[in-house]
Each structure stands twice: as structure tokens, then as C-alpha cells.
Structure 1
Amino acid sequence: MTVRRISDIVRHKHPLTLPAHATVCEACRQMRERRIGAVLVVDEAQQLVGIFTGRDAVALMAESRNPAETTLSKVMTKKPCSISTRHSAIDALRLMEDGGFRHVPIVENGKVVSIVSRGDFHGEEQERLDTETGYWERI
């Protein structure tokens, strides 16, 4: 099996980034327009400060909070796990599996480069993760 690097996966991706003071309504509108499931929340230096996903939007609605008045800083996951472009695809999948999430920000030198999600990976990468998981469960 060919080991893909994260740099191969994100070469032509342009992640949606917004400042922490953007509203949930604006984030959801842009997520829908781009057909994506996550927004990377950045500071003025483009450094990652959080991530906002569809799951966060559902939690906000379940709490009856107003998305037009709630800023991302109030509902985002702060300091999310991230990886660099030097990692392999299987590294990203392991991180998602261990953390129970579907998106991983890609950061280089402290700045957002891109994002990967479960849908970015080939079946053979998922099969390898399943094999590894099964191996560790038997030990």
C-alpha cells in the first residue's frame, strides 16, 4: 500500500477560516455554501484558536441559543488537535479515531494550512486503521 502524506491530500484545499467574533449564523451560512462540515477559527495572525463543526451547531440549537447573536468563540472547540503536512494519512485517521472527531486542522509553523476530514481518505487507509485497531483489541 502506498503511504499518502497529508501534503498530498490538502494540496488543492482551501479551508474556511473565520475570526472568533464571527457569528454562528455566518459560519453555518458559509459551511452550507461550500458544502463543508467545519470552520477553522483563527486569530489575526492566522493561527488556529478553535474549530466549529456541525456538531457544535446542533449543540447550540439544542440549548435554544440564538445563532445570529452567538459568536464562534462561545461555542467552538478551543485548541483542537492538529497535525502538520509531514504526517501520513493514517496518522490523521488515528488521531480522528482516538479523539472521536471527523476533522483535523493542518498547521505549519503555528499557522493554518488546511483541514482534512474522514471523507478525504481512501478505503485502503481506513482498512489499515481497522486492521490496526483489531490487532490492538486482541492484545
Structure 2
Amino acid sequence: MNRCDALPANLEAEVSDTLRTLLKNKGRTVHTVAPEATVLEAVRKMNQARIGALLVMSGDDLVGIFTERDVLTRVVDQTRDPAATRVAEVMTSKPVVVTAAATVNEAMAVVSEKRCRHLPVVDEGRLIGLVSAGDLTHWVTRGHEYHIQDLVNYITGKYPG
């Protein structure tokens, strides 16, 4: 094995955690919007929740995702009226999804390869959550924070043992 291929043990543990584990810690709150809602209503909902995407649901079915990028490229750039445009007209249909059993590393690869920032998470075909590129990055870096604190404690003599 090339030494560049080896991951530090704490990083390896973080990226091999499943999305199910990440969602248990992050929470499973999912912000949604109906396809018939206006873009203006959806954007207000996103601003209020301070989020970058809404899952578009028709009943229990995921029919799309509406993101900040959709607002910029399909509404603003095309000079559409947000108060008159329906989410269904400008959402991203058939969003890329991942399963709850996928690892953080696999999800990061999907985000990178598909160039999307938000991934709906499904379990046995049922929507159970949403993870963002930021969630994935935070999950991995939190392991580094613990490791750094352990090193600081060791150096300063506060390390148990």
C-alpha cells in the first residue's frame, strides 16, 4: 500500500460510518415543499430555516429537490416571476439519492462526482433524511477536533493516565 493511500485511524472511522449513524446524531428533520407551491413561498421557507434546499414531496413520494442553484439558474437567470412560478416548473426532478447504509465516504464521492450539495437519504425506499456536503464535511472533521484536543491535553499534561 502506498503510504498516501493510508488514512489515519480516526479519519478512517469517520468516513466509514454510515449515513444512518450520521442522521441519528444530526437529526432527521427534513424541510419539504409541495410541487404546487410558488418559488417565492419556497424561498421564504428556505430563508426562514436558513437552509439551501427543500425536498419536493407529493404525499409520501419524493418528486424532486429545490435548491438555491435552481433559484439562480431557472428563475433569476430566466427572469421568471417567483410569485407566479411553481416549484414543479423549476425543481430538479429525480434527485440523486443515497441509502442509509451508504458510508460517509461513499456519500462524499457521490457529492463530488454528481456535483450536488444535498443528498436525500432513503431506507427501504422510504425517505428518512437529507445530508448536505457540509454535514458530511462536519462529520469527518469532528473526529479531527477530538484527536487534536487529545494531543493538546497530552502535551499540556492534562491527558488521563
TM bucket (normalised to shorter chain) is 0.7 to 0.9
Deviation at 1:123, TM superposition (A): 6.5
2:23 to 4, 7, 10: 10
Identical residues among aligned pairs (%): 33
1:38 to 30, 34, 53: 53
* Structure number with bigger Rg: 2
Aligned to 1:120: 135
Q: Please, what is the CA RMSD of the aligned residues?
A: 1.7
- Please give the alpha-carbon distance, in whole angstroms, between the structure 2 residues aligned to 1:20 and 1:110: 20
- Please give the alpha-carbon distance, in whole angstroms, between the structure 1 residues aligned to 2:82 and 2:114: 26
- Please give the alpha-carbon distance, in whole angstroms, between the structure 1 residues aligned to 2:84 and 2:42: 12
Aligned to 1:74: 89
Residue 63 of structure 1 aligns to a residue whose secondary structure is coil
1:53 to 58, 67, 87: 67
TM value normalised by structure 2 = 0.72
- Please give the alpha-carbon distance, in whole angstroms, between the structure 2 residues aligned to 1:87 and 1:100: 18
> Given that residues 40 and 52 in structure 1 are in contact (C-alpha distance below 8 angstroms), is that contact kept between their aligned partners in structure 2?
yes
> Given that residues 47 and 110 in structure 1 are in contact (C-alpha distance below 8 angstroms), is that contact kept between their aligned partners in structure 2?
no
Deviation at 1:111, TM superposition (A): 2.7
| Runs of 4+ that moved beyond 6 A | none
How many residues in Structure 1 have an aligned counterpart in Structure 2? 125
Which residues of structure 2 form unaligned runs of 5+? 1-11, 142-161
